[in-house]
Amino acid sequence: MGDKQRYWIGFDLGGTKMMAVVFDAKFRVVGRERKKSKPYLGKEDGMRRVCACIDTALGTAGIPAGRLAGIGFGLPGALDLNRGSIIESPNLGWKEVAVRRKIRARYRCPVAVANDADAGLYGEYAMGAARGGRCVFGIFPGTGIGAGCVYNGELIRGAVGSCMEFGHVPVVPDGPLCGCGRRGCLETVASRLAISSAAAVAAYRGEAPALMKTAGCNLEEIRSATLADAIKKGDRAVEQIVRAAAGRIGRAAGGVVNLLSPDVIVLGGGLVEAMPVLYKEEVSRGIADNVMPAFRGTYKVAVAKLGDDAVAAGAAALAAQAAVDGRGKKG
């Protein structure tokens, strides 16, 4: 492989941040750039900001754009994976953005596009906690609950877009209203937003004094690290709320084990990063209590290793795969 095919970029485009990471042929990080994504900036200005982030990352690595072998994107929202485009991303305020076409036209290299949760899981499969797994299921609780599955080296996806909407598995009959319009989805009782809401009520009632002192009842201030800090300072009510939410994720994941028999279940996302031991304990217990006897001992639960780089690493690995099979040259 020549010099022009030796570097890859993985791009993580979230609702509040964008990050470009440059990898060499052995997928070692050689440069990076991180910016605020400025939601609702507009898709044209937003894509210009994406390109500026890529250019800066290349500059930090000292690599000209002509030496790029491919670029991979982990994107939020509804995607057309065949065309490599965003259909709609509420977190960004974007609709109908031809990401692959625009980026390929500028950088003249293959471009891969994936859902951000899928990209994060693929990163853990390719170079993290699930390396070498045959069937890997990833769960990423945060503002919502993202998930993905790698089977025999390929991401499971739908005919057009991504799938594995684990956060929208119904778990509470006639339960709380979800953002998707249905009731009782897992996200309504186990996402960070659901946890923060319950914790705010506990603080208001005087049951979580440490949280009240740190964040009050303001949902915007009750982040994953805030919850972890409140637990460390003795807010038993907050701990019970978080453990109950993690247990619900585990019970739902038990059904996934019965369905797919994964050998590795990866836990990642902000909540897990802030409270890895708690989440691993409760999710593991929830799974064990709900799997068929035949599946006991056939899987392991692992905490993600790549942290903030998971999406970018997975996106870059997918770009490398796209360059081999030609998928990044279409759309």
Pairwise CA distance, residues 194 & 245, whole Å = 9
Residue whose pair of structure tokens reads 């609780």 in the numeric block: 141
Q: What pLDDT, on a 0 to 100 scale, did the predictor assign at position 1?
A: 43
Q: Are 73 and 34 in contact (CB under 8 A)?
A: no
The stretch 305-309 carries a mean pLDDT of: 91
Query: For 184-195, what is each residue's pLDDT tens digit?
Result: 999 999 999 999
Put the strands of the sheet holding 111-115 in their side by side order: 29-36, 17-23, 7-13, 68-75, 111-115
Put the strands of the sheet holding 85-89 in their side by side order: 78-80, 85-89, 94-97
- Cα distances from 18 to residues 42, 74, 288, in angstroms, run 15, 10, 37
Q: Which amino acid is at 81?
A: L
Q: What pLDDT, on a 0 to 100 scale, did the predictor assign at position 275?
A: 97
Query: For 210-260, what is each residue's pLDDT tens digit?
Result: 999 999 999 989 999 999 999 999 999 999 999 999 999 999 999 999 999
Query: Who contacts 242 (Cβ-Cβ below 8 Å, separation ≥6)?
Result: 195, 227, 231, 271, 275, 278
Give me the torsion for CA of 106, 107, 110, 115, rounded to 10°: -70
Tokens describing residue 212: 């009240």
Kindly report which listed range (3-7, 136-140, 152-156) carries the lowest average pLDDT score. 3-7
Q: What pLDDT, on a 0 to 100 scale, did the predictor assign at position 39?
A: 61
Return phi, psi of residue 179, to 5°. Answer: -65, -20
Q: Where are the beta strands (DSSP E) in the chain?
A: 7-13, 17-23, 29-36, 68-75, 78-80, 85-89, 94-97, 111-115, 135-141, 145-151, 154-155, 264-267, 300-303
Query: For 146-170, what is each residue's pLDDT tens digit?
Result: 899 999 999 999 999 888 999 999 9
Residue 40, pLDDT above cutoff 70: no
Query: For 57-88, what is each residue's pLDDT tens digit?
Result: 999 999 998 899 999 999 988 899 999 999 98
| CATH numbers and ranges of domains, the chain | 3-122+309-329 (3.30.420.40), 132-304 (3.30.420.40)
Q: Which residues pair with 10 in a beta bridge?
A: 21, 72
Question: What is the percentage of the chain residues whose pLDDT exceeds 90?
Answer: 79
Residue whose pair of structure tokens reads 């089977």 in the numeric block: 151
